[in-house]
Structure 1
Amino acid sequence: MELDALNNFWTLIYDKVNSWVESGIKLLPNMVVALIIAIVFAIIARIAGRLMSSVLHKMFESKQIADLLAAIFRVIVFIAGIFIALEFLGLTGTVTSLLAGAGIVGLAIGFAFQDMTENLIAGIAMGIRKPFQIDDVIEAEGVFGTVKAINLRNTLVETFFGQLEVIPNKILFRNIVTNYTHEGYRRIEIPVGISYADDIDEAAHLIESKLKEQDWIINKDDVNVFAEGFGDSSVNLLVWFWIDYPGEPGYMLARHRGVSLVHKTLAENNILIPFPIRTLDFGIKGGEKLNAMLQEQQKTSANQYDCEHSREKRDSVDRSNRDKSQ
């Protein structure tokens, strides 16, 4: 009985192995073809990745973004070859399971690293859109400075105070970014006030003429001086002119020269830049005016002086009379 059971066991194993060998022999050509397909797609992915990398390096300023996109493209091509090879072997269910598993894993990774993923996608989008480049002067979310590096997750900006600010790419992608370098020029605005006694048109003409003589100012026809309004002690003017940016002499030096030139021009032509003058008035809502208070104080002081003088005179007369009587 035991011998029959053992014979049945070995017979079952032999039949199973024999069926596997027969199936393997039948699938051997397909397996060879699938292997060749996988090798061919691996070679294609490698070549295509290099070509894509060279193209992306010309498109993007960031080397990291270009390398990442090239690597993603290379992996996609290779995975497509693997799926074709599996499909050629008749493993349709395996391909479907792999696709479903990849989707679930990708979804889980997306939720787990949501912030990182968002910065990464924003970095790639900005690399394509190119709102700014390295060495551009930008302003965003209170940070004002020069772009030093553009990475996949963040952008490095060196402020004009010498600090290095690390800004997540999603912040730059979501909010307004001002690029001062893109157009190649920049306007400088200088406010100045002149006295009410001076002529506005004459002051504007003098300032415009002097500014148009400067070589470092561009677009001479766009040099303008406008009356902004009436201040507490002056008529307020706005002086506008344009400079190359970035370039020489630089924004701060150009602004310094502009302020100095406006001040010198007005001083040479006897046009006053007034400073605030305040008059104290105590006459509001029942109070006394300052001049009335001063006059009252002067009268009081005069009366006190007269009283003291009269008293001293009487005392002197009394002393004189006592001396005579003695």
Structure 2
Amino acid sequence: MELVIVVCVVVVALGFDYTNGFHDAANAIATSVSTRALTPGAALLMAAVMNFVGAFLGQGVARTIGEILDIEVGVPGMVVVMAALLGAITWNLVTWWFGLPSSSSHALIGGLVGAGLASSTDVSWAHVVDKVVVPMVVSPLVGFGIAFALMLGILWLFRRANPHRTNRRFRYAQTVSAAAMALGHGLQDAQKTMGVIVLALVAGGYQTSTDHIPVWVVLAAAAAISLGTYAGGWRIMRTLGRRIIELDPARGFAAESTAAGVLYTTAFVFEAPVSTTHTITSAIMGAGATRRLSAVRWGVARTIVAAWFLTIPMAALVGALAYGVVHPLLE
């Protein structure tokens, strides 16, 4: 029975990874597609490949996810993980349907916290605050500020350049920046699924700690997120690519380069599971604000920010409800 539950949890975790991919596909490619630096098909293929590669570049974020709950060994612990995943997937699908670029990462963390509270599992609140809440607030602010400053530097450096030639060159540069962004997305988000699968293995008694991530887990998570990315997230792509601000290639390059830098820094230096969605959205706003503040559609931005702050509590609520449904069925 326990083996069957572990297998089910792993399958659901990979399902979450897949929804993460198509929910967050827009993060890597919306700006490049909207500026016509890449065609949608080429952009999706590139993003899928880079997501797969990025999943192999680190394991620090996965360990951080694995340490959120003091999971119980046995069926009760596996039920908690299953409920957390169902909560995260549900919130992902809701926000995808409405075209809101909310955070799959924070949906997963909210699901874990909600299922943990509903089951009376110990939640490492200090860990959540240090590794999740603080980066959640700081990373978008940093992304906005750096993208704004980088774009100002670009405007100054190319102030006398031919606009047509400059745009063409930045379209080429966006191919690199979009690839870097997709690599960062794989680095960050695939690891979150790895962390949850390892939690399930610990609960099932197949591992003694969350420190070690088997190779098959890395391969499976990498494949699921890249397949989801290739499936695409066109509703959210429209929001990021057009509804926030009309981007030109230079601003797209500044936003993508900034977001990629933030993702690498938080993954390798702080091992913090930051949101790729928050990071790229704030970077787009920062780069766009250099045109003029009114160029950013702040009404759309407010809706997105509201979704950010709702994600963890709403996913936690759905995770808790899912625990109430799954618990009597599996125990």
TM-score bucket (shorter structure): under 0.3
Q: What is the TM-score of this pair, normalised by structure 2? A: 0.21
Q: What is the TM-score of this pair, normalised by structure 1? A: 0.21
Structure with greater helix share of residues: 2
Between structure 1 and structure 2, the one with the greater Rg is 1
